[in-house]
């Protein structure tokens, strides 16, 4: 099978797999009321979640009013098409490189009624280290950052990937955990805010892992 044909097939296969996960995974959501309050107040926000856990985010937020920031790489093209099939929009670009040029397009996305989704340690790491791009965007766009994470009782961990990427497996339990929103004011120090966001993401990730561990989590490394 040629590389171009494989790239054309991957989004459809990934979409079918995400549908299987959605049907066979029992999901517990913690503090979903935080997101509900933001939506009820008609406040736009930026989801922030670790790159490692983006597959299950797409599964649990299928059809959500969100546009995920995705790189302009060839792999990014496949990811953008996959999430489009899942009813999730995308914005192509970077939260760090050339972010000032992207602010206008992202602002238009927010004005259209969509929230934004960003992996603050992506696309190449270091893993679970917040880059300042997401803080810069929140500051310039004037919207809060909503930390969110997930965990699964059955999953495949790609040990050779830079972030030990998680691929959820069917017929298990899943957890989605939200943290308190983080505001970035014009005079805030971005490094300090990055440390604060990392602390919140790490804390809710531990919480999500504990929830699925209680059901006997199975993690296979590859």
> What is the band of 9 on the pLDDT scale with cuts at 50, 70, 90?
confident
- Give 55-96 pLDDT, tens digit per residue: 999 999 999 999 998 877 767 788 888 888 888 888 877 655
CATH number 3.40.50.720 is the correct assignment for the domain at 3-221 = no
134 pLDDT more than 70: yes
Biggest CA pair distance of the chain: 54
100 pLDDT more than 70: no
Q: Which whole-number Å values give the CA distances from 210 to 54, 62, 136, 150, 153, in the listed order?
A: 19, 24, 32, 11, 10
User: CB atoms < 10 A from the CB of 21, how many?
Assistant: 24
- Give 135-176 pLDDT, tens digit per residue: 999 999 999 999 999 999 999 999 999 999 999 999 999 999
Calculate mean pLDDT across residues 5-14: 79
- pTM of the model as a whole: 0.90
The strand ranges marked E within the chain are 26-30, 46-48, 66-70, 89-92, 115-118, 145-152, 154-158, 165-168, 173-178, 218-221
Helix (H, G, I), strand (E, B) or coil at 153: coil
Average pLDDT, the chain: 89
Calculate mean pLDDT across residues 166-189: 97
């Amino acid at each position: 099978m040629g590389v171009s044909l494989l790239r054309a097939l991957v989004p459809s296969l990934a979409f079918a797999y995400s549908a299987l996960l959605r049907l066979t995974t029992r999901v517990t959501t913690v503090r979903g009321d935080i997101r509900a309050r933001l939506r009820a107040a008609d406040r736009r926000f930026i989801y922030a979640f670790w790159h490692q856990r983006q597959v299950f985010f797409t599964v649990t937020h299928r059809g959500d009013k969100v546009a995920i920031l995705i790189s302009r790489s060839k792999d990014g093209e496949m990811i953008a098409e996959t999430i489009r099939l899942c009813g999730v929009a995308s914005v192509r670009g970077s939260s760090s490189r050339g972010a000032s040029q992207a602010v206008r397009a992202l602002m238009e996305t927010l004005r259209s009624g969509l929230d934004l989704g960003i992996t603050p340690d992506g696309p190449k790491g270091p893993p679970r280290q917040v880059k300042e791009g997401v803080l810069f965007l929140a500051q310039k766009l004037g919207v809060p950052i909503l930390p969110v994470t997930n965990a699964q009782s059955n999953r495949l961990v790609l040990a050779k990937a830079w972030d030990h990427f998680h691929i959820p497996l069917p017929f298990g339990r899943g957890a989605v955990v939200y943290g308190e929103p983080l505001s970035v004011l014009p005079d805030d120090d971005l490094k300090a805010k990055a440390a604060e966001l990392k602390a919140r993401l790490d804390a809710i990730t531990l919480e999500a892992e504990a929830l699925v561990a209680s059901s006997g989590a199975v993690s296979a490394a590859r």
